[in-house]
Chain A
Amino acid sequence: LTQAEKAAVVTIWTKAANQADAIGAESLERLFSSYPQTKTYFPHFDLSQGSAQLRGHGSKVMNAVGEAVKNIDDIRGTLAKLSELHAYILRVDPVNFKLLSHCILCSIAARYPTDFTPEVHAAWDKFLSSVSFVLTEKYR
């Protein structure tokens, strides 16, 4: 990520941080509605709209994104434990990270339309790709 891209990521996060939980829950809702196959990873969850588990999990996801933003120069180190969790325990197929990233972008675009310029969009797409890459790089 270039300096400009890092700045673009941080700018949005500064606004999004205090709505992080809601954005997380909404992104998951978008994921499960648009891509029902992703629900197969959550047979143990109540996935109905507004469910406590959905909100809790959305929170978890966005906290991790937030940590990556705060440590944008060392995403690999920051997400090392999460990377291992996904590789050895969760084993979510890598294709799903693209799907969730897309849904996070939709949630951000819907909430911050004027801030979400093409350049900011590109920066976030790249950033979430980096996060996804780190989370799947220990798979094999």
Chain B
Amino acid sequence: RLLIVYPWTQRFFDSFGNLSSPTAIVGNPKVRAHGKKVLTSFGEAVKNLENLKATYSKLSELHCEKLHVDPENFRLLGNILIIVLAAHFTKDFTPACQATWQKLVGVVAHALAHKY
């Protein structure tokens, strides 16, 4: 969804092959694999909420010094994740639930930007 809704984010994924249409993006195995990587990392965040900056220290350096990702993209992805959760959990994704997750994606984005 990030790559479809905000197509300029494709700039970071030249090596992913065919991203030329929503269908291509949805069917792209590298996109799928990367989504899994990112969500798995999110899972680590959830398990280490007391210590996010340390947990994401290396990843933060990587995103800054090697990947050169503008931290604004972390905010975009966090909000996309929230919309995916809303579609997945429907009425269980209450306003209160969303508020909590907005906080989580916010602190994850902050931790990822910390080493910049």
Contact = CB atoms under 8 A, between A and B. Distances in A.
Interface of A: 26, 29-30, 33-35, 102-103, 105-107, 109-111, 113, 116, 118-119, 121-122, 125
A110 B22 contact: no
B64 interface: no
Contact of B86 (A33, A109, A118): A109
30 contacts: A26-B95, A30-B95, A30-B98, A30-B99, A33-B98, A34-B95, A34-B102, A102-B82, A105-B86, A106-B82, A106-B86, A106-B93, A109-B83, A109-B87, A110-B86, A110-B87, A110-B89, A110-B91, A113-B86, A113-B87, A113-B88, A113-B90, A118-B1, A118-B4, A118-B5, A118-B22, A121-B1, A121-B4, A122-B22, A125-B5
Nearest to B93: A110
Contacts of A35: 102
6 closest A-B pairs by CB: A33-B99, A113-B87, A109-B86, A109-B87, A34-B102, A33-B95
Q: Is the interface of A mostly helix, strand, loop or mixed?
A: helix
Q: Is the interface of B mostly helix, strand, loop or mixed?
A: helix
Interface residues of B, number: 22
Contacts of B38: none
B33 interface: no
Contacts of A109: 83-84, 86-87
A34 B83 contact: no
Given A33-B95, A106-B98, A110-B89, 13 more contacts: A102-B82, A105-B83, A106-B83, A106-B93, A113-B86, A113-B90, A118-B4, A118-B5, A118-B25, A119-B4, A121-B5, A122-B1, A122-B4
Contacts of A26: 95
